[in-house]
């Protein structure tokens, strides 16, 4: 079984690994179970990143004198990313060097 991201194989499970998983997961449910777990992991990471983004940017918005901050997560993120002082992780890391 191969798991791909943008057509690149990011994980290849051997027959032994698949059979090991099927010791606890029905073969009828294996694909759906793996998909559910991957979705959970990625969305959990997203939720944690969103939490940290809010912790960083709500005080910054107050410092910038913004008197309204979007409650909707997507709108909040769009407002942060539109801010001229926003820097993604790669830029922040480069600026530290």
C-alpha 26 chain-centroid distance: 28
Q: Per-residue pLDDT tens for 52-64?
A: 999 999 999 999 9
Collect all residues with Cβ–Cβ distance below 8 Å to 80 and sequence separation of at least 6.
53, 57, 86
Instruction: Give the residues across from 9 on adjacent strands.
Output: 4
What tens digit of pLDDT does each residue of 8-37 get?
Answer: 999 999 999 999 999 999 999 999 999 999
Q: What pTM value is reported for the model?
A: 0.85
Tokens of 52: 């940290």
Distance between CA atoms of residues 6 and 78, nearest Å: 24
């Amino acid at each position: 079984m191969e798991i791909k991201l943008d057509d690149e194989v990011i994980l290849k499970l051997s027959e032994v690994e698949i059979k090991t998983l099927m010791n606890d997961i029905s073969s009828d449910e294996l694909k759906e179970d793996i998909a559910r777990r991957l979705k959970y992991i990625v969305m959990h990471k997203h939720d944690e990143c969103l939490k940290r983004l809010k912790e960083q940017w709500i005080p910054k918005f107050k410092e910038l004198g913004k008197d309204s901050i979007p409650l909707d997560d997507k709108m909040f993120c769009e407002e942060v990313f539109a801010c001229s002082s926003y820097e993604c992780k790669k830029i922040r890391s480069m600026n530290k060097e």
